[in-house]
Amino acid sequence: MKIQDQVMKWRPLKEALATLKIPADYLLERLNREEIPTVINLLKEWYPDVVVGSESCHLSPAFYEQEVYFSDSSDDKPIFALTFKNHYPSLAG
């Protein structure tokens, strides 16, 4: 079977992350579509050099729509994106 014929079957998030130990003040959550602009802006801020080269694809909302598995999308997407957030957004940097 060719790789392009295979479909990724993602496990439920709770099952996939069951063995991780997350610090008490943090949350690990699936990326939501509404967060895409924030992610792009933070990537530009944290990694200014990302605007050039092959990694610049991460600055396009279309990349996330095409490549990321969201809760309401088909499960054949190759990326399961997670966000790691501090309970206190003003302290999260």
The answer on pLDDT for 53 being more than 80 is yes
User: Residue 23 domain-assigned?
Assistant: no
Asked if the structure places residue 39 within a domain, the reply is: yes
Is 55 part of a structural domain of the chain?
Answer: yes
Q: Is residue 41 part of a domain?
A: yes
pTM of the predicted model, to two decimals? Answer: 0.70
Q: What does the alpha-carbon distance between residue 55 and residue 47 come to, in Å, rounded to a whole number?
A: 10
**Is the residue at 52 inside a domain?**
yes
What phi and psi values does residue 68 have, to the nearest 5 degrees? -100, 135
Q: Is 89 exposed, middle or buried (0-12, 13-18, 19+ CB in 10 A)?
A: exposed
Assigned domain for 29 exists: no
What are the tens digits of pLDDT across the range 72-89? 877 778 888 988 888 665
Residue-range definition of the domain harbouring residue 46? 34-93
Please give the tally of structural domains in the chain: 1
